[in-house]
Amino acid sequence: MILLEIGAGLVGILLWAFFVEPNWYRLRRITIHGQKKVRKPITILHLSDIHFVGSEGSKRGFFQKLSMLNPDLIFLTGDIIDNNEGIDTAVRLISGLRARYGTFLVLGNHDYYNYHMKDTLRYHMGLGKTSMDHNNVPRFVSEMKRIGVRVLINESTKLDVHGTPVLIGGTDDPVTQRIDFEKALHGLSPQTLNVLLTHHLDALLKLSHHGVDLVFAGHTHGGQLRFPVLGAPICETKLGRRYVEGLHRYKEITLFVSRGLGAGRTLFPRFACRPEAIFFEVRPD
């Protein structure tokens, strides 16, 4: 009887982790205080690791809710698609989002590569970070630009948001080995609110600039599987387990790491780590 109860419990946990929690999206609201360069509060919607495939699935309803937020800025920090079939899905759902001052995107490793199960296993065993199956990155970037998304691949742009001069820089993904912070943060100034978008927070290990105010990242999925006391056994960052998700201070930088909205096709369960979108209010006080 005890074995049956244990077995039933394990089956319940597996069903939850594979079929319930991956579709139980939440919208978190976080206020970032103490950004003295900000003249009036700035609102930001941060989405990461969506892993779009050919079908919209349960994401469609959640994106309809997100479309009503109308933030000042939208940041997309990589792994937006999981395969080429996800490009059209990304276009349909992202085009429904609106931001007063623009939507900005950086690429992640899954945007570049269509990982199959063998690739995913090699990745997590430390035997390789790429796949022989490449996604159509030029088409993905072209489609994002067509719907008004600004794609930042080692680039920066400046804009005025409610009277606050803001620099938004974006890096390429570390998997490409082409990160160039000089280009990604070109125009960085003590007078501007300097924001860096990067998919993989390990990019910060090579960041020598100390003028960055805010960093938004993803990749870790928050560990994806989290357990009482233990936390996330898999953290996917060299910065350490404490940085696997959430809001942190790192070298005088305010850093936020998203749990992401998806989990990929090959290893997609979530446990005690709900997929999320984050709505920020950045304030001077």
pLDDT in tens, 161-186: 999 999 999 999 988 889 999 999 99
> 196: which residues sit within 8 A by CB, 6+ positions away?
169, 170, 171, 184, 185, 207, 212, 214, 215, 216
- Min mean pLDDT across 91-105, 118-132, 235-249 is at 118-132
What are 227's strand-pairing partners?
A: 231
Residue tagged 């792994």 (tokens): 79
Selected residue with higher pLDDT from 208 and 105: 105
Count other C-beta atoms under 10 Å from residue 40's C-beta.
Answer: 12
Smallest Cα–Cα separation from 199: which of 179, 172, 167? 172
Residues 196/185, Cβ–Cβ less than 8 Å: yes
Bigger pLDDT: 38 vs 6: 38
Supply the mean pLDDT for the chain: 92
Q: For residues 42 and 71, what is the distance between their CA atoms, to the nearest angstrom?
A: 8
Report pLDDT digits (tens) over 31-88: 999 999 999 999 999 999 999 998 888 999 999 999 999 999 999 999 999 999 999 9
Task: Please give the biggest Cα pair distance in the chain.
Answer: 68
**By the 8 A CB rule, do 52 and 42 touch?**
no
pLDDT at 3: 65
pLDDT-derived band at 268, boundaries 50, 70, 90: confident
The fraction of the chain above a pLDDT of 70, given in percent, is 96
> What is residue 18's predicted lDDT score, i.e. its pLDDT?
85
Residue 30, Ramachandran bin (φ over 0: left; ψ between -120 and 50: alpha; else beta): beta
Average pLDDT, integer, range 23-37:
96
User: Can you say whether the dihedral through the CA atoms of 117, 274, 252, 32 is positive or negative?
Assistant: positive
Domain 2-282: CATH superfamily, name plus number: Metallo-dependent phosphatases (3.60.21.10)
User: Residues 243-261: what's their mean pLDDT?
Assistant: 95
Q: Count the Cβ atoms, other than its own, within 10 Å of residue 143.
A: 18
Strands 253-257 and 276-282, how do they pair?
Answer: unpaired
Asked whether residue 228 carries a pLDDT value surpassing 90, the answer given is: no
Residue 109 has pLDDT above 70, yes or no: yes
Q: CA triplet 16, 110, 99: central angle to 5 degrees?
A: 85
In this structure, of 68-72, 101-105, 213-217, 267-271, the range with the lowest mean pLDDT score is 267-271
Listing DSSP states for 189-241 in one string gives -TTSEEEEEEEEGGGGGG---S---EEEEESSGGGSB-BTTTB-S----TT-G
